[in-house]
Chains A and B, each alone.
Chain A
Amino acid sequence: MKLNWLYIAWRNVGLKKLQTALSLVLLAFGVGLVSLLMLSEKQLSDTFDRNIEDIDLVLGAKGSPLQLILANVYHVDAPTGNIRLADAEKVIRHPYIAEGIPLAYGDNYRGYRIVGSTDAYTAHYGGEVAEGRTFEASFEVVVGAKVAEATGLKVGDEFFSAHGLQDETDVHTDKVFRVVGRLEPSGTVLDQLLLCTISTIWEVHEGHGEAVAPEDREITAVLLKKRNPLAVLTIPNTIRETNMQVALPSIEINRLTQNFGIGMNTLRAIALLIMLISFASIFISVYDNLLARRYELALMRTMGGSRGGLFLLLLLEGGLLSTGGSLLGLVLSRLGLVALAQLVEDKFRYDWSNIGVMPEELILVGLAIFVGLIAAAIPGISAVRIDTSRTLSEAQ
């Protein structure tokens, strides 16, 4: 049997269960909240960044520019309205524009949007066909990975679409969609869409037999890539007279995250406050232990324990508390993120299940342990200065 300081510190911490639990819980909540904020911010910005890639401008109906971006880039909001295909084509053919990807939608299958577009849309997000082939004719559909997983749609399946983007009350039972392909997971918006040709969308909504005249055909939006930076300035002028607007995804998303930011900062301040309280709790815990155990510490001195040894003991006690609390905090933030991911997936159909430890979190944990050691070092210094003789005399 051989004792060591760490073992004694462990047993000392274990002796005061309530105090120890309080310190651990407080620190775990503080660290957990900060790390949860870090994780969710990262997931959020990753999600935004992946989908914004290379889209310089979004063309769509007038309304809130943010709504335009959210609806057409992220597919989380309702579209601002429709625009005339003929008007949109004029913008696409503008010399400052390199490429335009048209989008048309208005139907869903079990809550997943059916989006009419071209192969360029799939290609833009790097979507690869995992099974089957891409859509060619009307009513041929390629399903995103998440959609396939959630709805169980397989190549060869047929289904009806429902009007609108969410509910399934108004089902078009006269038009049958057929699944011809399934996409690999790409971590982009493609995962939660069903893709088909634009004319499919038109045909779903045409009355029986009577086709809409080509000049009256409408689409929802166009994702634009610019050829010339001046496009950002000139395009708005060329469409002033129409019902269309262009919005810059990067600017709108910046605005959005800045608005989010205020809430995030408040949460962060609260989390830091909780951490501060937990450090005070560790300090009190170690200090209280010191007062209650002055005789024990003096006793160790009479048995040949050095001042350095006693300091180390208290430091280890603080270290155990702050390490335990921090690690518990990381576990808590993972649980929080999983819960949040469930919410996000139900509501926005984005996958937030990446819960690896970020380098920033390691820094957070390192800092928390360090501050915990400092909180223990202050009573530790008192332990070093303890007057053995007097302490023992008082104990008699």
Chain B
Amino acid sequence: MIRTRNLVFQYQKDSPLLTFPDVECPAQEQLLLLGASGCGKTTLLHLLCGMLQPAQGTVNINGQALDQMTEAERDAFRGQHVGIVFQKSHFLQSLTVLENLAMPAFLHGAAFDKREGLRLLEQLGIAHKANSRPRDLSVGEQQRAGIARALIHRPALVLADEPTSALDDGSAAAVMDLLETQATAARATLVIVTHDQRLKDRFGNRLNLTAQPQSA
């Protein structure tokens, strides 16, 4: 489903090269990428969804090679097929939670089903916040709203960037449960990038990222 080969990334022309192990995850399965801070986890996640372009190597999602696309095509592809859960969920502060859920559909030109959005919020236990401003939600609620937004447009791939590191043990477990069940329910492939050791035992499918040497 998602597969990388020999990924190498360079921020600027003379900055050190970052190399990444090959990542592979079959459709509808779940993969944990575990690594300490500073090993380029977020960089890898951005490479996986085409926000960054590798210096070498390929990223392949659903049989489509991201490096073969133009930037606009990658934007559109990501909008349609990828959902992203961030460590701290960002929202459009001027819009309500429900309107934020409508954003992915709007941005790739699809219709938004309001009932579908409310149902998802219901499952995540924050239906009563549908018409609230994002800033009026607690951190845990924001994280759940972030999961809802990543899944609302039924993407084939869900990427989660440190989804639990800002949460206490209880909330972290709850968020992970929700993320896993929702991804399964949506038949989405789930890739989690984290340094959070608490998640280690939840996933059989696991890849350790190691700190990068200065050059490779």
Contact = CB atoms under 8 A, between A and B. Distances in A.
Given A2-B106, A3-B112, A389-B46, A299 B75 contact: no
A292 to B, nearest CB: 9
A4 B108 CA distance: 12
A313 to B, nearest CB: 10
Contact of B112 (A1, A305, A309, A395): A1
Contacts of A396: 42, 86-88, 161-162
B102 A3 contact: yes
Q: Assign chain B's interface to a size class.
A: 35 or more
Interface centre among A12, A301, A302 (most CB of B within 10 A): A302
A302 to B, nearest CB: 5
B143 interface: no
B216 interface: no
Interface in A358-396: 388-389, 392-393, 395-396
A15 interface: yes
A167 B52 CA distance: 85
A302 B42 CA distance: 14
B80 A304 contact: yes
A2 B79 CA distance: 17
A386 B126 CA distance: 32
User: Which range contains the number of A residues in contact with the other chain?
Assistant: 20 to 34
A306 B103 contact: no
A300 interface: yes
A96 interface: no
A309 B107 contact: yes
Interface stretch (B56-64, B90-98, B201-209): B90-98
Contacts of B76: 304, 306
A14 to B, nearest CB: 7
A303 B107 contact: yes
Contact of B75 (A1, A295, A305, A395): A305
A14 B78 CA distance: 30
Contact of A2 (B43, B51, B84, B111): B111
Contact of B94 (A1, A12, A303): A12
Given A1-B114, A393-B42, A304 B98 contact: no
Contact of A303 (B42, B87, B103, B162): B103
B106 A3 contact: yes
Contacts of A293: 92-93
A205 interface: no
Interface in A289-322: 293, 295-296, 298-307, 309
A1 B98 contact: yes
25 contacts: A2-B112, A3-B112, A8-B92, A8-B95, A11-B94, A14-B94, A15-B93, A15-B94, A296-B90, A296-B92, A299-B91, A299-B92, A301-B75, A303-B108, A303-B149, A304-B76, A304-B104, A306-B72, A389-B46, A392-B42, A392-B86, A393-B43, A395-B88, A395-B90, A396-B86
Interface of A: 1-4, 8, 11-12, 14-15, 293, 295-296, 298-307, 309, 388-389, 392-393, 395-396
**Closest A-B pairs by Cβ, 10 of them:** A304-B79, A11-B94, A3-B106, A15-B94, A304-B108, A389-B46, A305-B107, A304-B107, A389-B51, A1-B114
Given A303-B107, A307-B72, 7 more contacts: A295-B90, A299-B92, A300-B103, A302-B84, A304-B76, A304-B78, A396-B87
